Amino acid sequence: MNILMVRSPLLAVNEGYVGYGWSKVDFSQYQDTEALFEAFKQHYPNGIGRQKNNIQRFFNLKEGDIVIVPSSKSVSIGVVKGEKAFKPEWAKDDACNLVQVEFYKIGGRILKIGRDQLKQQLGSRLKLRSAIADLNEFEPEISRVIDSIQKTGEAYRHSSYFSEQIELAEQKFRKELHQSICKGTTWLKPGGMGLENLIKEMLELDGYKAEIKSKKQSPDISDIDIEAEKVDRFSATYLLIQAKHHRGETNGHGLKQLIAYKKNNDVAYQKWLITTAAVSDENKQLAKQNNIEIMEGEELVGWIYESLPYLSEKTKQALGIVEIPSLLKQ
């Protein structure tokens, strides 16, 4: 696939073509450049100056190539269909030699992309006075613009690209943070205490009063790690939480601890199992039967991500998170 800038007259673009001059030679009558340039020697005996490369590029446009047609403040993008045509009546507009192009459209109208939406280097290249220019070096940016148009069906905006890249970076960050927590390659305190402190801090950021409970609260299996409450004028929420710093899949032990735990008052507590790992379908069913909510690793990381702007520097350092500006590159 080649990508060319073609300064085609608008009347050709509106008819689904890119147009070029040289009215004495009908490009559509020739199969190769050798025969084409023999015709040029015959019809233009005084020569064609430095236009040979441009003529060759236009003639060699083939199906699947991309053309960029600039106008004063915008560009149109199209995919070459490959068929050549000749309209002598367009010679006065330097558009008699034609190549069929399918331009990207919205609502039946050819899409115009503002030059200010393009990167500086591509924008500068489009200012060349040449009728035709090679744009292959800008393939990554142009392909990105085309992908955006095809996905959204809307005019391209670089702000959309920024949003897309930010979302991809967020997904990458969450995945790496999840892996780091599960593998124990953070600086969180070992033995589950680090995770409990993290959850307690996030609960407090969400407006809860939270307390990490002592170990060995009872002689049997019943146990919770964190108790939290949030009371306002109109509602009250009480939480009993088991936190499990696991890798892979969390077994049913935490659920059994919660099931066995009984609070000696009339408050309606919500029981939660919060784990860095995944939970099997069997244990999810057990939790449902006992009115226990589950937060698995990916959801936990989502909570951490949402809390990042408000977490203490000490906690962010324990998670291995460094906040520095980042450049968006192509």
Q: Domain limits of the chain?
A: 3-156, 193-318
Largest Cα separation within the chain, whole Å, is 105
How much is the average pLDDT of 79-102?
93
213 three-state secondary structure: coil
pLDDT-derived band at 49 (thresholds 50, 70, 90) equals confident
Nearest-angstrom CA–CA distance, 194 and 181: 10
Residue type, 310: Y
pLDDT given at position 71 = 81
pLDDT higher than 70, residue 259: yes
pLDDT given at position 152 = 76
For the ranges 37-46, 92-101, 159-168, the lowest mean pLDDT is seen at 159-168
pLDDT-derived band at 158 (thresholds 50, 70, 90) equals low
pLDDT given at position 163 = 55
Query: CB of 276 within 8 A of CB of 181?
Result: yes
pLDDT-derived band at 256 (thresholds 50, 70, 90) equals very high
Nearest-angstrom CA–CA distance, 303 and 259: 25
pLDDT given at position 162 = 63
With a CB cutoff of 8 Å and minimum separation 6, the contacts of 36 are 25, 27, 30, 55, 59
Q: Does domain 3-156 have CATH number 3.30.2310?
A: no
CATH architecture of 193-318: 3-Layer(aba) Sandwich (3.40)
